[in-house]
Structure 1
Amino acid sequence: MAHHKSAKKRILRNAARATVNGNRIGRIRSFVKKVEAALIVGDKDAALAALKIAEPEMARGAQLGVLHKNTVARKVSRLTARVKAL
């Protein structure tokens, strides 16, 4: 257990941030899964629409520091290539 007041505050803050960041990552994953589901079905229009929604969410995750920007760039690139290949 922390002994200093600031360390105790830091523990509480870290727990709160972990919850928020976990929710953000879950939200991003949900949007990516919608794109992948459309890809599996083979519906290019639905995949494009889902990608247009997923891409800004992923970029926002990188901007907020939840995901690394290169990770987001790589994932968006791969999803775009898969949609284009349909």
Structure 2
Amino acid sequence: MARSRIDDAEIATIFHLSGTTLVSASEQIDDTPSGSLLHGIMAAIAEHYSKNLSFEAKKGMAEKARRGGTPGVAPSATST
């Protein structure tokens, strides 16, 4: 549900307190112990993906700067 396990847990708590049940059309997420485990694993994977993507993007930008590149897209020759 979120890219942060903390946010995911807060959302799940709000759902629980309001009596709402999460239903997934693509995953076996339910109120069983196995469903809870799957939800936790998926939350951890989503957080890892987001943090790793950020890390790799920063690493790429640092490498570009180290090679003398400009941040973002280089300005065109016709810019004023």
Judge same fold: TM > 0.5, yes or no: no
Bin of the TM-score, shorter chain as denominator length: 0.3 to 0.5
Larger Rg over CA atoms = 2
Q: Which has the higher helix share?
A: 1
TM-score for the superposition, normalised by structure 1: 0.41
TM-score for the superposition, normalised by structure 2: 0.43
